[in-house]
Chain A
C-alpha cells in the first residue's frame, strides 16, 4: 500500500495534519466530551455525571429558543435575498457596456469598508435618539407612517434591520463571484441561442443559469453556513447584550454561555455548539443532495 511516493506525500502533509489535529480535531472532541458532562464546575474542573441533561437544558432555555428562531429567520431571509439580489446586480453589471468597471468597483466597496463604519451608517439610518429620528423614520413619516424604533423597538423591526445589514455585508462578495461567473460563460453559446431565436427568459433559465450553477451553489452553501454562524453583525447593531435585545443568535448564545454575564457554563455552550453543528451539517447535506440534481459541473 505505502509506496515510496505515498510516503513522501504524507510527509509533506504532516505539518498541516499536526496543526489540524491540535487546533481542530482535539478541540472538537473536547466539545463533545464537555457536552455530556453534567454539572460541570469550571472552578474545580469537576462534574457530577454523564448524560444528555445539557442538551435538554439548552433546548428548553427560552434564550436559546429565541436565538434559534432569530438564526433561522436570518438564514432563511438573507441567503435567498442576498444571492438573488447579487444575481440581479451581476446580470445588470454584465449587460452594461461602458461604465461596467466603475459600477463593479462601486458594488464591491462595501466589502472593503470597515464593518464598524457600516454599523455607524446603519445607526444614522435607523437609530432613534433624543436628537434625531433616524433617516428611515424621517422618510416613513413623510409617507404618513408613525415610524418605528428599529434598534430598541419591536422584534420584527429589529430583525428587519439585521437582515438588511447582513444582506448589505455579504452581497459584494457574491456580486463579485457571480459577475466573473457570468463573464466566463462563452459568448458563442449566446450567439448560437440567438440564431435559434431563443427568448431572453429561456436563455437565462436553460443556458446562463446552468452554466453558472456551480458558482451559485457554492455561494448558497457558504451563504447558509455563514448565516448560521451570524453573531458579529448583531453585536455591531445591538451591542453585546443580545439576550436583552432579544436579538441573540446561536453563536451568540454559545459565547454568552462561555464568557457573558450568564457565563461559566462550558457544558451548555458545548451542547448548543453541537446542536448548531448538527443543523449546519444537515442543511449542507440537503444542499449537496439537491445540487446533484441541479448543478452541472
Chain B
C-alpha cells in the first residue's frame, strides 16, 4: 500500500482556503454594535482628516473671525449672513463646528502618533525582553513596574512641567506614559510564543535572530497588542484632552478638544452650554467608537474563540 495519503485537495473543507484576515473580518462583522462602532469611528476620523475641506471656516485664521459673532447659540446666522453657525460660536466668534473638526484632527493625530510611537518602542523592548530574558528583561520589567505604579496622568504632567508646552512635547509625554503597557503585553505574549516549538525549529534552521524575532515571533504576538493598542489610543486621546483641559497640553494656537472644552467651561453656568458641551460630545463619541471597536477586536482575536 502506498503511504501517500490520498490527495486532500478535493474535500469540501479545502475549497474555502480562507485567509486568516478574511476570517477575522467575517467574525468581526458578526456583531452589529461593533459594526456601528467601526462606522462611527470611520466617520469621525474622516471628518478629522478632511477638516480643512469640510469646515465652514478656518478657525485659526483670525481674519475669518468676527468678534461681533461671539457666543451665538447653535443655528444662528453669521453677521455677514454668509454662513450658519450650526453648533454656535465661542467668545471670539469662532464657528464651533469648525473648531471641533480641527480639534478632532489634532486629538486624533496626537493620539495615533503617540500610540504608534509608544507601540513601536514598547513592542521592541518587550519582544527582546521576552525572547532573551535574563538581566535585560529583569531591569526593563522593574522600570515598567515602577512606572505603571504611577497614574499615567502624573507621569505626563511631570514631564510636561519639565519640557513645557508644544505638540511634540505632549507626544513625548504620552509615549513616556504609555510605552510600558505595550512592553508588558508584548513580553508576556513573547514568553508564551517564544517557548513554542516553531521558534525552536526556526533556530535550528539557522535563521538569524532578527528574522526569528520579527518574522516568526512578532506576528504571533500581535493579537493581544492590537487590542491593547486600540484601547490605548482612546486612553491617549483622553489623556491629551485632560492635559489640555488643565492647560498643560497644547498651546492655545492649536486648540484640541480638551482645550475647547476648557475654554467653554466658564460659560456653562451662564447657559452657553454649546461652547463646552459639543466638543465634549465629540470627544465622547470618538472614545466610545474606539472602545466598541477594541472590544470586538478582543473577542475576535481571542484564540479560544478563534479555533472553532
Is the pairing of A and B real? no
